[in-house]
Each structure stands twice: as C-alpha cells, then as structure tokens.
Chain A
Amino acid sequence: MTGSLAGPSIWSRMMSGQTGPVCVVLIALFALWYVGAIFMNAPTQIDKYTRADQTWTTSQLIEDTLAQERPILPAPHQVAEEMYKTIFATKITSKRSLVYHSWVTLSSTLLGFGIGTILGIVLAVGIVHVMTLEKSLMPWVISSQTIPILAIAPMIIVVLGAIGIKGVVPKAVISTYLCFFPVTISMVKGLRSPQVIQLDLMRTYNASKWQTFWQLRLPSAMPYLFASLKVAIAISLVGAIVGELPTGAQAGLGARLLAGSYYGQTIQIWSALLTAAFVAAMMVVIVGWLERRVLARMGVKP
C-alpha cells in the first residue's frame, strides 16, 4: 500500500483516536435502524396497499415505510425531525416542548441525586465508623435494592400524595431511593481504602477519628465517590422517569413516554427516549468533568 509508505494514512490516523471508532459504530447503528424500520413497518404498509387495491414497487415500499405516521419503528430522520420540532421550534414554556418536559424531569432528578448523594455518604460514614451500624444497616441497604422500583414507585407517590406532598418531591424520593445505593457501597469501600501504614501514621500523631476522617479517609475515597456518582446520576434520571409514570403525570419525559404509548405515537416515544438518553449522557459528562477538576486539584498524576 502506498499510503503506509507515505506515513500513516487518513484512515489509520482517524482510527487511532476516539472519533473514528465512535463514528463507525454510529453509522452501523443507523444502518441497522433503517433496515429494521423498513422490515418492521413493511407488513402494515403492504396491508395498506392491498386494501387500497394499489400496485407498488420495492422502492415505493421502502419510501413509504420510512414515512408512516404511526410506524412500529420510526426511522431516525422522523425522530430527528420530531425532536427538532419539539426542542427548537416550540416555545420552551409550551406543554409540547421537550425542553419543558426535560426540565421537569431534570429538576426532580437533580433534587433526588443531591439528597441521595448526601444520604449515601452519611450512611457510609456511619457504617465505616460504627460497628453496630455496619451490622444493622448494611443488610437493609442491600435488600432495599432487591425490591423492583416499578413496584414501589406508585406506592411512594400515593403515600406521599395522601399526606399532601406532591409535585417534584415524590419523584425525587424515588430517585434518592435508587441513587443512594451505589454511593453508599463505593464510599464504604473508599473510606476503608487508606493503607494500614497511613492509619498507623495518623495514630502516631494521636489524631482524632474526625481528623483521620478529614485528612485521610475522605480524600482517599474521592475516586470511589466520583465513580459512583456517574452511576448515581444516570439511575437518578431513571428514577425520576419511573416516578412520572404511575401518576399519569401531566409533565416530564416519563409523561411524554406514557402519553405516546397511550395514543400509539411511536415517534413521540422515541424522541422522548432519545432526549432522556441525551440528558443522562450530558449529566455523566458533567460529573466526569467535575471529577477531573477535583482530582487534578488534588495533585493526582495526570
């Protein structure tokens, strides 16, 4: 190959980074999606032709399967068009705007994430420092996650609603319920990560438990904390969406999903779904950025 003699070819240069491989996977996914859409939607389209006594060609069939109003699997460009319409072309105060619905979901996600993170850290601190708490709390922390969230979410909404707590808080409670868990587990491990020699060192200084916590245990736990926060923020969003389903909620990405499935609006479902995925990805990216900033300030070897 002449390209390899003249130095790395464009292809190998592109593939050596991250962009190239990601693009290839993305293209493959879109191709698969289109093929899927054609095959999934073809039977109903052919049905339609037959009833209308219409003759059809393959190219016409393909074109029509990708432009149905309520397809079984909408094509990527249909979803993109819907997303553009509901994100950019609609006023964000409108009930039809995905920005509005995203914000509704995001607000309970962030509230739940905040409470869940604090709760998770507090539980971990207790478990690490108090022997009794480890014995009594740890089994409950673990068994809390064996209950399906779909089963417990409606009860939380109903119970909290009965005592007059409505709106963003019940959804945030469900997010909290999901996201404290990874934080607790990681922080227990992180707070216990200092080496024996480092703990001995603190002992020779006659450091108090509190000083050992601030100077040694907490900084040692930071990498563990951020790893768990990335998981926590993503499942916190899942919690908020699940929390929007049982109420037949009027607003939020979960409500859009539910309304879409009521009326067979598959395009609406898919655009809500992709928006949710995008929001989750953005939040994970933000946590990752924060992680790099904090660890860099802590002098971690780049």
Chain B
Amino acid sequence: MTLKEVVNNVASMPASKDAVVDIKNLSLTFQTADGPVYALSDVDLTINEGDFVSFIGPSGCGKTTLLRVIADLERATGGDISINGVSPEQARENRAYGYVFQAPALLPWRSIERNVTLPLEIMEISKEERIKRAHDALKLVELNGFEKKFPWQLSGGMQQRASIARALSFDADLLLMDEPFGALDEIVRDHLNEQLLKLWARTNKTVAFVTHSIPEAVYLSTKIVVMSPRPGRIIDVIETDFPRDRSLDIRETPEFLEIAHRVREGLRAGHSNDE
C-alpha cells in the first residue's frame, strides 16, 4: 500500500468512527411545474451511535425530507451522505434502519403479530424465530397479549406502538421516526414518550426523530436540530445533557426551560425571514 492510498483511505473514512449518519453539504431540489423547490440546502450533520436526535421546525422546513433521504426514500441532488459508512441505498439494502411513519400503516388483513413479523418474513427468517422476535418486540412496547388482534380492534396509540414494534422486530441499530405521535392526544403522547425513552435507554439504539413539538423534542433528545423553511436548512444544533433515564419531571427544571427557550428562539429567527 502506497502512502497516497493510505491517505486516501483515511480521508474516505467517516468523520468519527462512531458516526452512524454523516451528512455533508447536502441539498435536495425538487423540480416542479412551478419551478424548482429547494427542500434542503447546505445541510451538515453528524449523528453518533446512541444519539437521540430530534428534528424540529415548521412544516415545509424539510425535516421529514431529511429523514427520507437518510432512509433512501428520497435521493439528494447534491452533497454527501453516508449511513454506517455506506450510501443510503446500500444501508437500506442492508436493512440498517427501522422506519416509523406518521401513520401506523399496519396491514389491516394481518393480525398484530403478523404485522410485526412482516419485515422478518420479507427477510426470510424462520417462522419460529419470527414469532419469538415478534413476541419480544411487542413486549418492548407493552403490547403483549394483543398478538391475535387485528389493527381495527386497537386504539390509535396502540396501533402506533405496534408499528414501533414492527420497526424494532429486525433489531436494526438505527430507528428513524417521522412524527410518530403527531396524531395522538397529549396524554397518550406523554406516555409513549416515556416508553420510547425507556426503550432507547435499554436497547442503546440510535434514534432520529422528527417532531413539531418543542417539549417533546427537548424531553427526548440528546441533540436537537432546529430547522427553517425556504430553503430547508439547519439553523441550530443544541446538545443536551439530561441523564438517559430521565423522567417527565425534568420538564419543570430550569435547564429544560432554558433549552426549550433556545429552540423557540431558533424557530422564531428562522421564521422571521418569511415576514
């Protein structure tokens, strides 16, 4: 190996060996009939292993688009992005992440258990193993006992928990969540947030979480990414240092309120461009 090759190899390595998602100078422009729409522009971000990263911003700021680029559901038009050191497409082919959508998107003709085993079936895992893993995943979201029920027999919150169990079932290290609790009421949402944190603390997964709720973002995250629309870009990245096993009570502490204030200021600054 020549020196040049060594240097090249070092240069092509991820920024940090812990970086799960590494985004540099990323942009995405949709070509529409009314001209180009700049959905994302100049996005730089690193998500490290074990991070809980929230993306927050008004609608149209590109937070969902960014998550979809990470998931290879959209393709960036410029810049670089790597997931676990490979392209998003390869990462998707490696089943590197579990994705939770805004709606549960359960298949109505499958029981809860069989909805959870769907990805495992596609990955051609043996039936015995499938049922065992579905059982474990449903236990993580406290839905054990509902295996044989059909989606319509469950409440909205339970359905969304089932969809989280489905994303957990194949044990990907990265969990991408696109406003998973957006359609639920405050009380259910608080409860699910607590459960999600416990789950994160227990499994040591890396989570990327899109939300438009400031308290939710501050409560859950180790890193909050504040975004702004037209063009979609990152205007602030805030690191928090709450303990991993935090309780809902931290929402009353001065640190929490301070961070929430900083997020709100960031959102307001991003918005002032509009008026």
Contacts and interface: CB of A to CB of B under 8 A. Distances in A.
Do A and B pair up? The answer is: yes
Contacts of B72: 203
By secondary structure, the B interface counts as loop
Given A197-B105, A215-B118, A299-B111, A206 B92 contact: yes
Contacts of A150: none
A297 B216 CA distance: 40
Nearest to A195: B105
Contacts of A207: 122
Interface in B95-119: 95, 97-99, 101-103, 105, 107-111, 118-119
A299 B150 contact: yes
Nearest to B121: A215
Interface residues of A, number: 20
B226 interface: no
Given A211-B122, A215-B118, A299-B110, A204 B105 contact: no
Contacts of B121: 215
Contacts of B111: 299
B123 interface: yes
A193 to B, nearest CB: 12
A202 B115 CA distance: 12
A201 B108 contact: no
Interface residues of B, number: 25
B73 interface: yes
Contacts of B118: 205, 215
Interface string A278-302: 0000000000000000000011110
A200 B95 contact: no
Contact of B105 (A198, A215, A222): A198
A154 interface: no
A246 interface: no
A206 B95 contact: yes
Given A200-B73, A201-B101, A206 B93 contact: yes
A62 interface: no
Interface in B103-148: 103, 105, 107-111, 118-119, 121-123
A216 interface: yes
A217 to B, nearest CB: 11
B152 interface: yes
A228 B103 CA distance: 30
Nearest 10 CB-CB pairings of A with B: A298-B109, A299-B150, A204-B99, A301-B152, A197-B105, A205-B119, A207-B122, A205-B122, A219-B109, A206-B93
